[in-house]
Chains A and B, each alone.
Chain A
Amino acid sequence: MNWIPVCPLPDLLPERGACALIGDEQVAVFRAHDGSLYAIGNQDPFSGAYILSRGIVGTRNGEPTVASPMHKQVFSLTSGVCLDEPGTVIPTFPIRVTMGMVEVSVK
């Protein structure tokens, strides 16, 4: 797997996402309140805009989520499934911390 460094972990504020540009891919990265990390595609499939990193992070029935800032559809951070319209799934990417650096892998 090819890990790409994104930012130092402290730059990722709890429950406030950030977006990384990796090649052509826009990856939204999140750090949950409990410290776990998630990476999903930044494009909102409903509006087409690249904005999911700017959504409100929270939980639904215990599952970590982000709500699209455009029209508020809620996505699971673990599976990328849209919990309001389960037919819609956005990509998820592996994410980890190495030596204090957040890293993601896109293919």
Chain B
Amino acid sequence: MTRVLIVGNGPSAHRLAETLTTRGFAGSVTILGEEPRGAYDRVALTSYLTEDRDLAYPEIPGVAVLVDTRVVSIEPAAKTVNGTIPYDVLVLATGSAPFVPPVPGRELDGCHVYRTIDDLDAIRASAKTATAGVVVGGGLLGLEAADALRGLGLKTHIVEMSPWLMPRQVDEGGGAVLKKHVESLGLTVHTSSGVTRIEGDDRVTGLLTPDRGVIDAQIVVFSAGIRPRDELARGAGLQVGERGGIVVDDGMRTSDPSIFAIGECALHDGQIYGLVAPCMTMAEVAADRIMGGAAAFTGADLSTKLKLLGVEVAQFGAMAGALDVTYLDPVAGVYKKLFVSDDASTLLGGICVGDAAPYATLRSFVGSELPAAPSDLLFSPTAVELPGDAPVCSCNNVTKNDVTAAIKEHDLTDVAGVKACTRAGTTCGSCLPLLKKILTESGVDTGSGLCEHFAHSRAELFTIVQVRGITTFTQLIDEHGTGRGCDICKPVVASILASLHNGHVLEGEQAALQDTNDHFLANLQKNGTYSIVPRIPGGEITPEKLIVIGEVARDFGLYTKITGGQRIDLFGARVEELPRIWRRLVDAGFESGHAYGKALRTVKSCVGSTWCRYGVQDSVTLAIDLELRYRGLRSPHKLKSGVSGCARECAEARSKDFGVIATEKGWNLYVGGNGGFTPRHADLLVQDVDTATLIRTIDRFLMFYIRTADRLQRTAAWLENLEGGLDRLREIVMDDALGICADLDAQMAAHIATYADEWRATLDDPVKLRRFVSFVNAPGTPDPSITFTTERDQIKPEILQVTSR
């Protein structure tokens, strides 16, 4: 019987023992670990401190584990350890130890490392009598340690030798963005800074830097890199690397054929792996070899994606290249960079900070030809089709082909099924968006049904509601659907009911159908407050009204910004403030701007012929007329418009759902334009028409769109999918090819006749107003979780702590 002895009881040792057992290994497996407890999930270490999580791995039946047992020697000739314990196969899984730079004072009370549960217990104990802490090292683990100190209520500093944080994962630009994030959480970052000495007699009192004086602190945590624990191997005469690490071959065997090494202590092909995924692969390879197999470890992808201190950071492939494409949004704190070969054809790698959306897709393309222009890839990576052999889940080695095969074979219909069948997505989770995309690509969920509750498309439901005269969601779902609806079908039905009946969106049962923003007739912001956008038709506003907006913003302390839609947005209002704010605005003659609704937003205008020396028509008057005509019109998606006074097009009308450009003879009408995710210039529908014809055509165009479009389909996508395209549309709305124009005209006339300002109606209705509170049992109390800081003399939401996940 083969006796396998494993030294060290970390994640690698655990995976090895588990693999041997599940594969039916016939010999005995014994683990010797120096820690006072069994193996646990080191990757999740910080949650032991912040959430008191139990990290212990499950016990493996049949495996003998000795805790508190340190191995001090190996006798390869006798095949024993510690002089007495025999083995046939020895596996070193001793991991690594934190590197503590040799600075004076490093042995003082209050100095710590961050590697084991014992370390964390010690830090917690020290923190009881401390107010400030310093982490030496601003890498991945250093930032985690800093977050933990912050969680213990300490004022926290990070000292990093390099000019920026996380130098192994991000470059200088990414580091700068990361630093801003970290600082916004209240941590102090000292980059390009070393440590001269730890101050204190018995207990730490501070840390002296070469050029920034003393940082007061009672705790110092060293996180300045790791060193493989190869001391046993050295003592036994095994081959080790120049800078440490136990040398192994592709089968994880050391220079002694009876001794293997796996995990963070192993040096494979000149490389130490400090991430858990490759350690797991090594453990599996070693298990296979011990059982007589021929599995090989051939290196591993060091791509990482993590969320640290609430910031997404990802890095894949190379960190340099002949050419690079960078996107930087310093305000939002987003930095994305792709490295490509000098002919711009091959993707070499990339870095993301603040938004790691491109990571999942692009990681699969490293080393292959770019599937689209680099700038497109940075913004809409999910639009790209993956090749079949692309690795989708690198944690579990699953390719796109594996996923598609599993979907077919097991008739999978959701991500949960894919996870269960392929193991993809079960480790770090960064490939989950890709799994979703492959499901859709595989034709899952192709029915035109809206969701599990309705087998009909939006257009079909529209017809059902119209023809049957249905006025409530309950009637519709009872007679034509199943269950009680969801966040997909309820807003769709709410929109259809509003388009057809134009009642108040918060009336009766309809109130429970409304999407997030319609719920409180305002736009939800990231911290649970709301923004307010009064309608400013055509962008024209009197000084008096401007002053009212200014006064309201000042009195309620709201952040104020001019929008891209020629109006003014006031941010940061609490739910219970909304009615009081709108009372003031309505009294001054303002109306809801429907910035929250799938409805008409703005009709932008240029100054036009009234003032402009080039203008040929009065674009402002037309824009105001159009905005007032279509205000409050609920639609499948939002509607935007613009009117320009001449072909110079200062109102950008051709990027709108319907845009009008003045000509010498009248107006040109363009439809199906879009900014946003997929920009599209609008197409010319009619030319040189007079104002009456123009308006009649827009009426019909809008009503036809509302009747036939899919859920959340802008006019641009709708027009592209319309059978017969622009010509057919022209036949329908100009020549009445379907015989529905009278109907469309009547519907629009009904909308205009029944329009009423939603906010005024809400203020007049005490029942609706009662819902505008943060707490039912304490209506006057503001939500205590909402807090602000200031930036450029205005408020700014404080970042919310995301809870345990």
Contacts and interface: CB of A to CB of B under 8 A. Distances in A.
B351 to A, nearest CB: 24
Contacts of A18: 771, 776
A32 B516 CA distance: 18
A74 B487 contact: yes
B308 to A, nearest CB: 15
Given A45-B802, A45-B803, A50 B785 contact: yes
Interface in B592-646: none
Contacts of A55: 487, 516
Contacts of A29: 776
A56 B777 contact: no
Interface string B474-490: 10000000011111011
Contacts of A45: 802-805
Which 5 interchain pairs have the tightest Cβ spacing? A48-B800, A67-B487, A69-B516, A15-B512, A58-B486
B526 A49 contact: yes
A96 interface: no
Contact of A50 (B489, B490, B528, B770): B528
Given A49-B527, A61-B452, A86-B416, A67 B486 contact: yes
Contacts of A21: 774-775, 777-778, 781
Majority SS at the chain B contact face? loop
Contacts of B800: 47-49
B422 to A, nearest CB: 17
- Chain B interface size range: 35 or more
B690 interface: no
B18 interface: no
A70 B512 contact: no
Interface in B496-532: 509, 511-516, 519-520, 524, 526-528
Interface centre among B487, B509, B515 (most CB of A within 10 A): B487
Interface of A: 5-7, 11-16, 18-22, 24, 26, 29, 32-33, 43, 45-51, 54-62, 64-65, 67, 69-70, 72, 74, 85-88
A24 B513 CA distance: 30
Nearest to B528: A49
Given A26-B785, A74-B486, 10 more contacts: A14-B512, A21-B777, A26-B775, A29-B776, A32-B484, A45-B804, A54-B520, A56-B490, A58-B485, A59-B483
B775 A19 contact: yes
A88 B804 CA distance: 8
Contacts of A49: 526-528, 785, 800
A55 to B, nearest CB: 7
A5 B528 CA distance: 25
B481 to A, nearest CB: 11
Interface centre among A21, A22, A55, A85 (most CB of B within 10 A): A21
B716 to A, nearest CB: 23
A64 B485 CA distance: 10
Contacts of B445: none
Contacts of A16: 511-512, 771
B783 interface: yes
